[in-house]
Amino acid sequence: MRAFRHYVLLTGGISLNAIELKELTKYYGKVRGIERLSFSVKEGEIFGFIGPNGAGKTTTIRTLLGLVFPTGGMATIFGLDCIRHGKEIRKNIGYLPSEVFYYDQMKVIDLLKYSASFYKRDCTKRIHELAEIMELSLHRRIEDLSYGNKKKVGIVQGLLHDPKLLLLDEPTSGLDPLMQKRFFDLIAAENKKGVTVFFSSHILSEVQHLCDRVAVMKNGSIIRLESVETLRQENYKKVVLKAVDLSAEDLGLSGVTDFKVDNGAARFFYRGNAQELVGAIAKQQISDVVIEDPSLEEIFLHYYEQAQP
Protein backbone atom coordinates (compact mmCIF):
# COMPACT_ATOMS: atom_id res chain seq x y z
CA MET A 1 0.00 0.00 0.00
CA ARG A 2 2.93 2.28 0.81
CA ALA A 3 4.27 1.89 -2.72
CA PHE A 4 0.86 2.72 -4.21
CA ARG A 5 0.52 5.82 -1.98
CA HIS A 6 3.99 6.83 -3.09
CA TYR A 7 2.83 6.56 -6.71
CA VAL A 8 -0.23 8.70 -6.01
CA LEU A 9 1.95 11.32 -4.30
CA LEU A 10 4.40 11.29 -7.19
CA THR A 11 1.75 11.69 -9.84
CA GLY A 12 -0.12 14.32 -7.80
CA GLY A 13 -3.36 13.39 -9.46
CA ILE A 14 -2.01 13.86 -12.99
CA SER A 15 -3.42 11.28 -15.38
CA LEU A 16 -0.71 8.76 -16.21
CA ASN A 17 -0.56 5.32 -17.65
CA ALA A 18 -2.37 2.67 -15.67
CA ILE A 19 -0.51 -0.06 -17.57
CA GLU A 20 2.77 0.22 -19.39
CA LEU A 21 4.51 -2.61 -21.23
CA LYS A 22 8.06 -2.34 -22.51
CA GLU A 23 9.28 -5.12 -24.76
CA LEU A 24 7.39 -7.59 -22.60
CA THR A 25 8.24 -11.13 -23.68
CA LYS A 26 7.15 -14.49 -22.40
CA TYR A 27 8.31 -17.86 -23.67
CA TYR A 28 7.16 -21.18 -22.21
CA GLY A 29 10.35 -23.09 -22.85
CA LYS A 30 10.70 -22.76 -26.60
CA VAL A 31 7.04 -21.96 -27.15
CA ARG A 32 6.30 -18.29 -27.69
CA GLY A 33 3.62 -16.72 -25.51
CA ILE A 34 4.14 -13.03 -26.28
CA GLU A 35 7.02 -11.25 -27.92
CA ARG A 36 8.29 -7.72 -27.31
CA LEU A 37 4.93 -6.20 -26.47
CA SER A 38 5.11 -2.45 -25.93
CA PHE A 39 2.06 -0.32 -25.33
CA SER A 40 0.36 1.63 -22.61
CA VAL A 41 -3.14 2.01 -21.25
CA LYS A 42 -4.13 5.39 -19.86
CA GLU A 43 -5.88 5.77 -16.55
CA GLY A 44 -9.64 5.80 -17.01
CA GLU A 45 -9.43 4.22 -20.45
CA ILE A 46 -11.24 1.11 -21.67
CA PHE A 47 -8.67 -0.75 -23.68
CA GLY A 48 -9.55 -3.68 -25.91
CA PHE A 49 -7.18 -6.53 -26.56
CA ILE A 50 -8.26 -8.47 -29.61
CA GLY A 51 -7.05 -11.68 -31.12
CA PRO A 52 -7.93 -15.33 -31.66
CA ASN A 53 -7.11 -18.14 -29.23
CA GLY A 54 -3.36 -18.50 -28.79
CA ALA A 55 -2.59 -14.91 -29.79
CA GLY A 56 -1.14 -14.16 -26.33
CA LYS A 57 -4.00 -12.26 -24.66
CA THR A 58 -4.21 -14.48 -21.59
CA THR A 59 -0.42 -14.67 -21.26
CA THR A 60 -0.23 -10.88 -21.23
CA ILE A 61 -2.85 -10.57 -18.50
CA ARG A 62 -1.35 -13.38 -16.40
CA THR A 63 2.08 -11.77 -16.67
CA LEU A 64 0.65 -8.47 -15.42
CA LEU A 65 -0.76 -10.34 -12.43
CA GLY A 66 2.51 -12.13 -11.63
CA LEU A 67 0.95 -15.54 -12.28
CA VAL A 68 3.68 -16.16 -14.86
CA PHE A 69 7.08 -14.50 -15.01
CA PRO A 70 8.29 -12.58 -18.06
CA THR A 71 11.23 -13.91 -20.05
CA GLY A 72 12.20 -10.38 -21.04
CA GLY A 73 11.10 -6.76 -20.88
CA MET A 74 8.99 -5.30 -18.15
CA ALA A 75 5.49 -4.17 -17.25
CA THR A 76 4.30 -1.57 -14.78
CA ILE A 77 0.89 -0.99 -13.32
CA PHE A 78 0.22 2.43 -11.79
CA GLY A 79 3.93 3.05 -12.19
CA LEU A 80 5.00 0.01 -10.16
CA ASP A 81 6.82 -3.03 -11.50
CA CYS A 82 4.29 -5.81 -11.72
CA ILE A 83 6.68 -8.48 -10.44
CA ARG A 84 8.53 -6.61 -7.68
CA HIS A 85 5.41 -4.82 -6.37
CA GLY A 86 2.89 -7.50 -7.29
CA LYS A 87 1.30 -7.62 -3.85
CA GLU A 88 0.75 -3.83 -3.71
CA ILE A 89 -0.51 -3.66 -7.27
CA ARG A 90 -3.00 -6.47 -6.85
CA LYS A 91 -4.80 -4.55 -4.10
CA ASN A 92 -6.14 -2.32 -6.84
CA ILE A 93 -6.82 -4.94 -9.49
CA GLY A 94 -9.99 -6.83 -10.17
CA TYR A 95 -9.36 -9.89 -12.33
CA LEU A 96 -11.83 -12.03 -14.21
CA PRO A 97 -10.15 -15.01 -15.90
CA SER A 98 -11.50 -16.45 -19.12
CA GLU A 99 -12.02 -19.86 -17.50
CA VAL A 100 -13.46 -19.60 -14.00
CA PHE A 101 -12.64 -22.26 -11.41
CA TYR A 102 -13.37 -21.96 -7.71
CA TYR A 103 -13.40 -24.25 -4.68
CA ASP A 104 -16.28 -26.54 -5.58
CA GLN A 105 -17.33 -27.45 -2.04
CA MET A 106 -17.82 -23.82 -0.97
CA LYS A 107 -21.02 -21.83 -1.04
CA VAL A 108 -20.95 -18.74 -3.25
CA ILE A 109 -21.23 -16.37 -0.28
CA ASP A 110 -18.36 -18.11 1.54
CA LEU A 111 -16.14 -17.88 -1.52
CA LEU A 112 -16.95 -14.19 -1.92
CA LYS A 113 -16.26 -13.54 1.78
CA TYR A 114 -12.96 -15.41 1.45
CA SER A 115 -12.14 -13.28 -1.59
CA ALA A 116 -13.09 -10.09 0.30
CA SER A 117 -10.92 -11.08 3.29
CA PHE A 118 -7.80 -10.34 1.21
CA TYR A 119 -8.70 -6.66 0.86
CA LYS A 120 -9.07 -5.73 4.53
CA ARG A 121 -12.30 -3.83 4.07
CA ASP A 122 -15.99 -4.57 4.50
CA CYS A 123 -17.27 -5.62 1.09
CA THR A 124 -20.57 -7.11 2.30
CA LYS A 125 -22.78 -4.35 0.90
CA ARG A 126 -21.04 -4.39 -2.47
CA ILE A 127 -21.26 -8.20 -2.68
CA HIS A 128 -25.03 -8.05 -2.26
CA GLU A 129 -25.38 -5.17 -4.73
CA LEU A 130 -23.40 -6.98 -7.40
CA ALA A 131 -25.14 -10.30 -6.75
CA GLU A 132 -28.49 -8.58 -7.20
CA ILE A 133 -27.44 -6.94 -10.47
CA MET A 134 -26.09 -10.23 -11.83
CA GLU A 135 -28.99 -12.27 -10.38
CA LEU A 136 -26.57 -14.53 -8.55
CA SER A 137 -27.81 -16.87 -5.83
CA LEU A 138 -25.38 -16.56 -2.92
CA HIS A 139 -26.27 -19.69 -1.01
CA ARG A 140 -25.68 -22.37 -3.60
CA ARG A 141 -22.59 -24.51 -3.76
CA ILE A 142 -20.07 -23.67 -6.48
CA GLU A 143 -20.19 -27.26 -7.78
CA ASP A 144 -23.93 -26.92 -8.40
CA LEU A 145 -23.59 -23.81 -10.59
CA SER A 146 -23.75 -23.74 -14.37
CA TYR A 147 -20.79 -22.26 -16.24
CA GLY A 148 -22.66 -18.99 -16.75
CA ASN A 149 -23.39 -18.71 -13.03
CA LYS A 150 -19.75 -19.45 -12.19
CA LYS A 151 -18.87 -16.61 -14.52
CA LYS A 152 -21.21 -14.36 -12.52
CA VAL A 153 -19.35 -15.39 -9.36
CA GLY A 154 -16.18 -14.37 -11.17
CA ILE A 155 -17.62 -10.97 -12.01
CA VAL A 156 -18.73 -10.32 -8.42
CA GLN A 157 -15.39 -11.46 -6.93
CA GLY A 158 -13.55 -9.28 -9.43
CA LEU A 159 -15.51 -6.15 -8.56
CA LEU A 160 -16.37 -6.50 -4.87
CA HIS A 161 -13.35 -4.54 -3.59
CA ASP A 162 -13.87 -1.51 -5.86
CA PRO A 163 -10.64 -1.98 -7.84
CA LYS A 164 -8.98 0.84 -9.79
CA LEU A 165 -8.04 -1.45 -12.66
CA LEU A 166 -10.08 -4.27 -14.15
CA LEU A 167 -8.34 -7.04 -16.08
CA LEU A 168 -11.07 -8.89 -17.94
CA ASP A 169 -10.09 -11.92 -20.00
CA GLU A 170 -12.90 -12.81 -22.39
CA PRO A 171 -15.40 -11.87 -19.71
CA THR A 172 -18.68 -12.53 -21.47
CA SER A 173 -18.19 -16.17 -22.47
CA GLY A 174 -20.96 -18.23 -20.89
CA LEU A 175 -23.21 -15.24 -20.14
CA ASP A 176 -26.60 -14.97 -21.81
CA PRO A 177 -27.34 -11.77 -23.82
CA LEU A 178 -29.28 -10.17 -20.95
CA MET A 179 -26.44 -10.77 -18.50
CA GLN A 180 -23.92 -9.59 -21.07
CA LYS A 181 -25.80 -6.30 -21.29
CA ARG A 182 -25.91 -5.97 -17.51
CA PHE A 183 -22.23 -6.74 -17.36
CA PHE A 184 -21.40 -4.09 -19.94
CA ASP A 185 -23.55 -1.56 -18.06
CA LEU A 186 -21.67 -2.45 -14.90
CA ILE A 187 -18.29 -2.00 -16.56
CA ALA A 188 -19.40 1.29 -18.11
CA ALA A 189 -20.55 2.51 -14.67
CA GLU A 190 -17.22 1.49 -13.11
CA ASN A 191 -15.38 3.29 -15.90
CA LYS A 192 -17.40 6.45 -15.23
CA LYS A 193 -16.10 6.30 -11.66
CA GLY A 194 -12.57 6.38 -13.09
CA VAL A 195 -11.79 2.68 -13.24
CA THR A 196 -9.39 1.64 -16.01
CA VAL A 197 -10.51 -1.44 -17.94
CA PHE A 198 -8.27 -3.81 -19.85
CA PHE A 199 -10.56 -6.01 -21.85
CA SER A 200 -9.48 -9.04 -23.85
CA SER A 201 -11.87 -10.55 -26.34
CA HIS A 202 -12.18 -12.20 -29.71
CA ILE A 203 -15.67 -10.78 -30.20
CA LEU A 204 -15.27 -7.48 -31.98
CA SER A 205 -18.77 -6.21 -31.43
CA GLU A 206 -18.03 -6.19 -27.67
CA VAL A 207 -14.93 -4.12 -28.20
CA GLN A 208 -16.65 -1.81 -30.65
CA HIS A 209 -19.42 -1.28 -28.11
CA LEU A 210 -17.23 -0.59 -25.10
CA CYS A 211 -13.59 0.25 -25.82
CA ASP A 212 -11.76 3.51 -26.54
CA ARG A 213 -8.71 1.90 -28.13
CA VAL A 214 -7.91 -1.54 -29.34
CA ALA A 215 -4.74 -3.57 -29.83
CA VAL A 216 -4.96 -6.34 -32.41
CA MET A 217 -2.78 -9.34 -31.58
CA LYS A 218 -1.45 -12.12 -33.73
CA ASN A 219 1.07 -14.82 -32.82
CA GLY A 220 2.14 -13.07 -29.63
CA SER A 221 2.70 -9.63 -31.19
CA ILE A 222 0.61 -6.52 -31.71
CA ILE A 223 -0.10 -5.96 -35.37
CA ARG A 224 -2.20 -2.83 -34.92
CA LEU A 225 -3.00 -0.42 -32.11
CA GLU A 226 -5.62 2.14 -32.90
CA SER A 227 -8.64 3.90 -31.50
CA VAL A 228 -11.90 2.13 -32.31
CA GLU A 229 -13.09 5.30 -33.99
CA THR A 230 -10.04 5.48 -36.28
CA LEU A 231 -10.38 1.85 -37.26
CA ARG A 232 -13.97 2.46 -38.23
CA GLN A 233 -13.26 5.68 -40.07
CA GLU A 234 -10.46 4.29 -42.20
CA ASN A 235 -11.14 4.99 -45.80
CA TYR A 236 -11.94 1.38 -46.57
CA LYS A 237 -15.04 0.66 -48.62
CA LYS A 238 -16.63 -2.68 -49.10
CA VAL A 239 -17.71 -3.06 -52.72
CA VAL A 240 -20.01 -5.65 -54.26
CA LEU A 241 -20.45 -5.67 -58.08
CA LYS A 242 -22.88 -7.99 -59.84
CA ALA A 243 -21.09 -8.80 -63.06
CA VAL A 244 -20.08 -11.76 -65.19
CA ASP A 245 -16.38 -12.75 -65.37
CA LEU A 246 -15.06 -9.62 -63.71
CA SER A 247 -11.47 -9.72 -62.47
CA ALA A 248 -9.41 -7.34 -60.33
CA GLU A 249 -7.27 -6.51 -63.35
CA ASP A 250 -10.38 -5.38 -65.32
CA LEU A 251 -10.92 -2.62 -62.77
CA GLY A 252 -7.39 -1.29 -63.19
CA LEU A 253 -7.42 0.19 -59.70
CA SER A 254 -4.72 0.29 -57.07
CA GLY A 255 -5.99 -0.15 -53.50
CA VAL A 256 -8.12 -3.20 -54.22
CA THR A 257 -7.70 -6.06 -51.75
CA ASP A 258 -9.47 -9.30 -50.88
CA PHE A 259 -10.96 -9.60 -54.37
CA LYS A 260 -13.32 -12.58 -54.47
CA VAL A 261 -15.89 -13.76 -57.01
CA ASP A 262 -18.84 -15.93 -56.03
CA ASN A 263 -22.46 -16.34 -57.19
CA GLY A 264 -21.93 -13.93 -60.04
CA ALA A 265 -20.74 -11.13 -57.78
CA ALA A 266 -17.31 -9.64 -57.25
CA ARG A 267 -16.58 -8.52 -53.69
CA PHE A 268 -13.54 -6.55 -52.59
CA PHE A 269 -12.21 -3.88 -50.26
CA TYR A 270 -11.11 -0.59 -51.75
CA ARG A 271 -8.94 2.03 -50.11
CA GLY A 272 -8.31 5.12 -52.22
CA ASN A 273 -9.93 7.88 -54.20
CA ALA A 274 -13.73 7.49 -54.42
CA GLN A 275 -13.84 9.30 -57.80
CA GLU A 276 -11.45 6.76 -59.33
CA LEU A 277 -13.52 3.89 -57.89
CA VAL A 278 -16.76 5.20 -59.40
CA GLY A 279 -14.99 5.84 -62.72
CA ALA A 280 -13.61 2.28 -62.84
CA ILE A 281 -17.00 0.77 -61.98
CA ALA A 282 -18.68 2.85 -64.70
CA LYS A 283 -16.51 1.17 -67.34
CA GLN A 284 -17.71 -2.32 -66.37
CA GLN A 285 -20.80 -4.24 -67.48
CA ILE A 286 -22.57 -4.59 -64.15
CA SER A 287 -26.17 -5.30 -63.14
CA ASP A 288 -25.92 -3.98 -59.56
CA VAL A 289 -23.52 -2.22 -57.22
CA VAL A 290 -23.23 -1.87 -53.45
CA ILE A 291 -20.66 0.39 -51.82
CA GLU A 292 -20.70 0.49 -48.01
CA ASP A 293 -18.57 0.96 -44.91
CA PRO A 294 -17.19 -2.35 -43.69
CA SER A 295 -17.99 -3.51 -40.15
CA LEU A 296 -15.21 -3.51 -37.57
CA GLU A 297 -15.26 -7.28 -37.80
CA GLU A 298 -14.49 -7.12 -41.49
CA ILE A 299 -11.73 -4.54 -40.99
CA PHE A 300 -10.22 -6.73 -38.30
CA LEU A 301 -10.28 -9.89 -40.43
CA HIS A 302 -8.87 -7.95 -43.34
CA TYR A 303 -6.01 -6.73 -41.18
CA TYR A 304 -5.48 -10.09 -39.67
CA GLU A 305 -5.11 -11.83 -42.99
CA GLN A 306 -2.73 -9.19 -44.29
CA ALA A 307 -0.48 -8.88 -41.24
CA GLN A 308 2.72 -10.92 -41.15
CA PRO A 309 4.36 -10.45 -37.76
Partner 1 sequence: MNIFAFEFRKYVGSLAVWIGSIVGLLMMFMAFYPVLAKDAAILDLFLEHYPEELLKAFGMGGELSLASVAGFFAFSFAFTQLVIAAQSAYYGFHFVSVEERERTADFLYAKPISRASILAAKYAAAGLALFLTNIGVWAGSFLAISWFRGDATYELWPVISLLLTVPVFQLFFFSFGFLVTAVSKKTTGVIGPAVGVSFVLYMLNALRRIIGGELLGLLSPYYHFDPNVILQAGQWEPFHAGISIGAIVVANVLAVRFYLKRDMSTAI
240-270 as b/e: b if 16+ CB within 10 A: ebebeebeeeebebeebebbebeeebbebbb
Nearer to partner 1, 48 or 56 (CB): 56
Beta bridge partners of 81: 76
- Rounded to a whole number of angstroms, the minimum distance from the CB of residue 73 to partner 1 is 16
Nearer to partner 1, 158 or 294 (CB): 158
Q: Does 88 bind partner 1 (CB under 8 A)?
A: yes
- Rounded to a whole number of angstroms, the minimum distance from the CB of residue 165 to partner 1 is 12
- Rounded to a whole number of angstroms, the minimum distance from the CB of residue 20 to partner 1 is 19
Nearest to 231 by CA among 309, 304, 181: 304
Q: Which of 48, 51, 79, 97 binds partner 1 (CB under 8 A)?
A: 97
Q: Does 76 bind partner 1 (CB under 8 A)?
A: no
56-65 as b/e: b if 16+ CB within 10 A: bbbbbbbbbb
Report the phi/psi class of residue 159: left, alpha or beta, with left for phi > 0 and alpha for psi in -120 to 50.
alpha
- Choices 16-24, 86-94, 198-206, 223-231; region in contact with partner 1 by CB under 8 A: 86-94
238 in Cβ contact with 294 (< 8 Å): yes
Q: Read off φ and ψ for residue 261, nearest 5 degrees.
A: -120, 125
- Rounded to a whole number of angstroms, the minimum distance from the CB of residue 68 to partner 1 is 4
**Which residues lie near partner 1 (CB under 8 A)?**
28, 54, 58-59, 62, 65-69, 86-91, 93, 95, 97, 99, 101-104, 113-115, 117-119, 157
